[in-house]
Structure 1
């Protein structure tokens, strides 16, 4: 599997595209006016303690107060603990952990999404290339994505020997697989320096200030996305290229030659067809090569994905046609989840299959296709209703919510009132207006489509209404009016 990372930099926006075998898999966007907060550490103050929610709201200087749950407040661990070796102590009540007006140092683990404020933790962590520093928790862990038990034990013993009696904890990241002592030492050196800066900043930082900010998107991409199968990293900004080169020389010296500056006149995203893919990722319908298609609906509570056979007729029988469509859909769903950055609860309505083995194979195909996803995913077996339920960890807004805003015409409903509905609303508004105000004539301003409907099909109804109210009604089309918009003016 060949993989490339393409980085497009403009003065106010940076975009990163992950391309596998020529196909776009992920898009990350960072805008200067609205940088994400995940990973940032703030000095905040508790505004309200909510016992019923076992949580507190904390002012960290953002537009909305951030949310801190009792389970995200650090409690001291005694001794060195390896994952799975000991159960955490019982969770105390929120009143025992924080009080209103208390100053706290917190880290953002989830950006503000929709109407919800940022999600916080006091369990601070600072990531490097291969390790994550946990300054307040003496834990030694290894990423569950490293499945080989021998390698897990090797990394754990290696790190244990390097940190000795350090009073801080560490997690070994997936990228550390196969790495040696020198790589670990470099990461430890970086993390110690970073934590020293944070400690110095915390002591005299004003309330609501950021004491540690995560790397910019291009450098984060190198830290989090670079793997052995990434063949090239192309960036179209000379300045960003030089910063990335310095970063790689320090942390990824073996991969420096994979970084390239793209000097071409044609935009890098146009050259690789990324712009068209992004536009398609904003559509509800996703065509499949077989002729079937997906319908993706993102709501506040969950995302639903419906699989349809469409024009695919198959060659053998209905069960075989459905099975093949579902297998293809499982791969497409995994890609769309990454591409659109969809998170939370996801319900997939595959086409009904009778064969139990076919169901099992579709589930396995979905899990296999999700294996390269950087976000944590959990897939459950088919439900009695033939649905697959799954979750995908969400830390930032989806692609659609980053790039789009609520439709001002339908107010986010995704549908418009029909012309007939608006016509009858206008008739009711006319009746309501003449009962309240005196006027000889009423002027109706509406969209051309609505006015044309009234004049062509409802002229008799207008005549009856004029006779009923004893007033004259004039109609005027205005291109500036949306289909649902109208005004009744008294003349």
Structure 2
């Protein structure tokens, strides 16, 4: 299994495609001025406390006030808020927490009115980006993510990824982290920390403590609403979370971004520095590596499978609905077996598409009906297995008696939506088509002007292939006509990149004549 990262930078936006064995599995988009990303820290101002929701609305600079629920304050909120207030007033000289006095934890079933009041300045972290007409979702349980560990201020707990199953390795990591972590800072040890040396883990920890120090320093001069600490850019975040020994290449088409990624890899994983490649090909980078083709195939309403079966995906305000159809799949004589095979293939594609589109909320999948309960369980287990690589929190219910599987998936960012339809090449979406006879006259009028204006020694016409066929019909009728008029043979070149009714005249150097 290999991973390739293809990064397209241009027009103020960076698009990142993750390919797993050459199959597109993740697509991310990052705009240069993007704010309110998951992980960003803001000094916000409480605008309104709503007891009926046990929540507050906080001004962080977004057009809609952000939402903060009581349960997202965290048990150590009083201590955390005390640190924020003292840091703002300049009453603290250090970002370290070892001697900072702890206050009582807030009650688990308490009321937000007992803790927060309108007008309070509070330090918050973006837990969910703005989606649709909703503002960001906030949390006061601050976490700073690194390559190997996650730093949790105002905690002394050491947690270890459940994917690290070796008990000896878990004990080693726990003892190691207990010896190097600062007091009153908890840590979550990530899966990639397995077998790593103390120097690597210590360096990662120091970087995170330095980020906390920067937060502390920025707080001292901050005026709400204001971003106090931004998450690292999405490209670096993806590399931080995904980079492993299976990475085959990282292709990037921008000079500055190439240098930035090269520097990041050299610092975090120097043994992988050689996989960073600077793409300089003539084709667009997504075209070269087959990303555009896969985007077109995966983001439409209808998604075809290799066997001939297909999926229909509909997005409503309340949920996503996916319908599985056998299509023209070459079926076996046993209908039940055919349904099982189609459903199993569909489960793999559905798991990929959900992750690729970053679909969230309620997802209902209508699989092909199967009568045998053993087959339904096999399908359910298959879907769970395929969804395992998905880092977003999700829950899958067994098939109902109607064969419908319900999935809930955490939504932290807006769903990726790509319009895969294209404008009509004939009318460019206007609904009006210029008659071919008039179009030919337009070409001839332009040619007469160019011959008089430029008097070129060589000229050629570039048109859509359909227009080329029209102009060359009847034994090169138009070319012979133009030769008799201008004593110059005009070559007609078909060009599939041109819209149906667009043409270009070029000189001997390939320069377009206007």
C-alpha distance after superposition, 1:361-405 (max 9, x if no partner): 1112112222222323322222233221222222111111xx469
Q: Map 1:37-48 onto structure 2 (within 5 A).
A: 37-48=37-48
Matched, 1:339 2:339: no
Of 192, 197, 215, which residue of structure 1 is paired with 2:232?
Answer: 215
Give the structure 2 partner of residue 204 of structure 1. 221
Stretches of structure 1 lacking an aligned partner (at least 5 in a row): 81-86, 406-491
Structure 2 SS opposite 1:99 = coil
CA distance in 2, matches of 1:316, 1:88: 64
CA distance in 1, matches of 2:185, 2:267: 24
How far the C-alpha of 1:254 sits from its partner, in A, is 2.4
Give the structure 2 partner of residue 348 of structure 1. 365
How far the C-alpha of 1:218 sits from its partner, in A, is 1.9
Asked whether the equivalents of residues 205 and 211 of structure 1 are also in contact (C-alpha less than 8 Å), the reply is: yes
How far the C-alpha of 1:166 sits from its partner, in A, is 1.4
Structure 2 SS opposite 1:310 = coil
How far the C-alpha of 1:32 sits from its partner, in A, is 2.4
How far the C-alpha of 1:154 sits from its partner, in A, is 3.2
Asked whether the equivalents of residues 5 and 18 of structure 1 are also in contact (C-alpha less than 8 Å), the reply is: yes
Aligned residue pairs: how many? 396
How far the C-alpha of 1:281 sits from its partner, in A, is 2.8
Matched, 1:118 2:166: no
Of 112, 115, 122, which residue of structure 2 is paired with 1:97?
Answer: 115
How far the C-alpha of 1:62 sits from its partner, in A, is 0.9
Of 379, 389, 410, which residue of structure 1 is paired with 2:396?
Answer: 379
CA distance in 2, matches of 1:296, 1:138: 46
Moved more, 68-77 or 326-335: 68-77
How far the C-alpha of 1:171 sits from its partner, in A, is 0.9
Q: Map 1:195-344 onto structure 2 (within 5 A).
A: 195-344=212-361
C-alpha distance after superposition, 1:102-147 (max 9, x if no partner): 1100010100101111000011111110111111333221223434
Give the structure 2 partner of residue 172 of structure 1. 189
CA distance in 1, matches of 2:322, 2:165: 30
CA distance in 1, matches of 2:115, 2:312: 45
TM-score by length of 1: 0.77
Asked whether the equivalents of residues 75 and 106 of structure 2 are also in contact (C-alpha less than 8 Å), the reply is: no
CA distance in 2, matches of 1:180, 1:11: 41
Structure 1 SS opposite 2:231 = coil
How far the C-alpha of 1:213 sits from its partner, in A, is 0.3
CA distance in 2, matches of 1:291, 1:216: 40
CA distance in 1, matches of 2:173, 2:335: 51
Matched, 1:358 2:358: no
CA distance in 1, matches of 2:31, 2:199: 36
Give the structure 2 partner of residue 370 of structure 1. 387
Moved more, 28-37 or 125-134: 28-37
Give the structure 2 partner of residue 9 of structure 1. 9
Q: Map 1:124-203 onto structure 2 (within 5 A).
A: 124-163=142-181, 166-203=183-220
Give the structure 2 partner of residue 30 of structure 1. 30
Moved more, 274-283 or 101-110: 274-283
Stretches of structure 2 lacking an aligned partner (at least 5 in a row): 80-97, 99-104, 421-514
How far the C-alpha of 1:173 sits from its partner, in A, is 1.6
Asked whether the equivalents of residues 343 and 393 of structure 1 are also in contact (C-alpha less than 8 Å), the reply is: yes
Moved more, 199-208 or 275-284: 275-284
CA distance in 2, matches of 1:153, 1:176: 13
How far the C-alpha of 1:67 sits from its partner, in A, is 0.2
CA distance in 1, matches of 2:278, 2:176: 37
Matched, 1:49 2:49: yes
Asked whether the equivalents of residues 75 and 108 of structure 2 are also in contact (C-alpha less than 8 Å), the reply is: no
CA distance in 2, matches of 1:236, 1:397: 26
Structure 2 SS opposite 1:381 = coil
How far the C-alpha of 1:98 sits from its partner, in A, is 0.8
Give the structure 2 partner of residue 432 of structure 1. none
Asked whether the equivalents of residues 186 and 251 of structure 1 are also in contact (C-alpha less than 8 Å), the reply is: no
Asked whether the equivalents of residues 123 and 137 of structure 1 are also in contact (C-alpha less than 8 Å), the reply is: no
How far the C-alpha of 1:31 sits from its partner, in A, is 1.6
Give the structure 2 partner of residue 20 of structure 1. 20
- Quick one: structure 1 residues 166 and 398, their matched pair in 2 at CA, closer, same or farther if it must change by over 3 Å? same
How far the C-alpha of 1:9 sits from its partner, in A, is 0.8
CA distance in 2, matches of 1:237, 1:270: 16
- Quick one: structure 1 residues 161 and 397, their matched pair in 2 at CA, closer, same or farther if it must change by over 3 Å? same
Structure 2 SS opposite 1:363 = helix
CA distance in 2, matches of 1:189, 1:34: 27
Structure 1 SS opposite 2:237 = helix
Asked whether the equivalents of residues 71 and 108 of structure 2 are also in contact (C-alpha less than 8 Å), the reply is: no
Asked whether the equivalents of residues 136 and 169 of structure 1 are also in contact (C-alpha less than 8 Å), the reply is: yes
TM-score by length of 2: 0.73
How far the C-alpha of 1:248 sits from its partner, in A, is 1.6
